[in-house]
Structure 1
Amino acid sequence: MTAFTRSWQGLRPRHGLLPGLLIGLGLGGFFDGIVLHQLLQWHHMLSSWYPITSLDALELNTRWDGYFHSATYVFVVLGVFLLWRRGGPRRDFRDGRALAGAVLLGWAAFNLVEGVIDHQILGVHHVNETVPRAAWAWWDAGFLAWGAAMGVAGGLLVRGR
């Protein structure tokens, strides 16, 4: 076994990595959509492109929020299905930690991909559009930092440390 193979051994699918990643992607999307879109109303899916200044803009953003929620729901359903097909997590502590780590890695992937693509590259929305525009970048950076922290924590749990 090479050093490269040993270093990636903790990330093998036998620890439920794929189901956990899918569940984490979905939970990250649920948190974003439910907390940031609906409860706090800091942004909607296309709110930087189509600010909520009319009923038509609100309807458009709400529709795209629905598409977004539908995709995150599919991630969770697929993850739960794959986990069920594998017989669920094993009963020992390490496998539960590995699954939790995989969920954190999936949620981190959601935050990092969403934060870079939607916030930075496309600019379709920003984390908190209720603050002055000059502060948007700080909220976006915090979202990315939160994703990176979850990625580190998830990676450590998956590797069993």
Structure 2
Amino acid sequence: MINTRIRTGALLLGIGLGAMLDAIVFRDLLQWNSMLSATLVPDSLDAWRVSLAADGLFRAVAWALALAGVVSLWSAFGRPGSLPSSRVFTGYFLLGWGWYNLLEGLVVHEFLALHHVRDLPARVPSYDWTYLIIGGLGFIAVGLALSRRPVPRRMADRRAGYERRGTGAAGT
């Protein structure tokens, strides 16, 4: 049960933090797109307000997913049982981030065409495909490789909760 909670937490944290990093890099720092930049060009104050509201909603959902990941991890650490290795945790984190990139790229960029990786000032289609291949499939491949080959650890080195502290029923 503890491994399921940690894996779920790592996946959710990867999705949430990946989405936030996407927004910070592509929307804020590079200013290549906004959430609706392919359908609503921010060329007026009203359009800009709608675009900012959509970006804010996106960030709120990303933050909520990351918080859900933290809550899942927090609940797992208080329970007895063995913890996965850092390598496995990183693998699941990258799986979450990669799945976010792949689904966001396919659904938002290609299917719904709400925005593209680089919309502003003009769309560059090769950026969408690079994002899908490297950020989506690449992260998923690395995540699978890391999560499927756990490094063997002694059980005493990877304990959580009461077992780690040496208190309670498990530690006596």
TM-score, normalisation: structure 2: 0.79
Between the two proteins, the alignment pairs up a number of residues equal to 146
The answer to whether the 8 Å contact 2:118/2:127 transfers is yes
The equivalent of 1:5 in structure 2 is none
Whole-angstrom CA distance in 1 between matches of 2:28 and 2:44: 17
In the alignment, structure 2 segments of 5+ residues that lack a partner are: 151-172
The equivalent of 1:7 in structure 2 is none
Is 1:151 equivalent to 2:148 in the alignment? Answer: no
The equivalent of 1:160 in structure 2 is 149
Of 12-21 and 119-128, deviating more is: 12-21
- Pairs within 5 Å for 1:7-156: 14=3, 16-87=6-77, 95-130=85-120, 132-133=122-123, 136-146=124-134, 147-156=136-145
> Aligned to 2:85, what secondary structure does the other structure show?
helix
> Aligned to 1:46, what secondary structure does the other structure show?
coil
* CA drift at 1:131: 5.8
Find the structure with the greater CA-based Rg.
Answer: 2
Q: CA RMSD in A?
A: 2.0
State the identity %: 34
The answer to whether the 8 Å contact 2:2/2:76 transfers is no
> Aligned to 1:125, what secondary structure does the other structure show?
coil
> Aligned to 1:124, what secondary structure does the other structure show?
coil
TM-score, normalisation: structure 1: 0.84
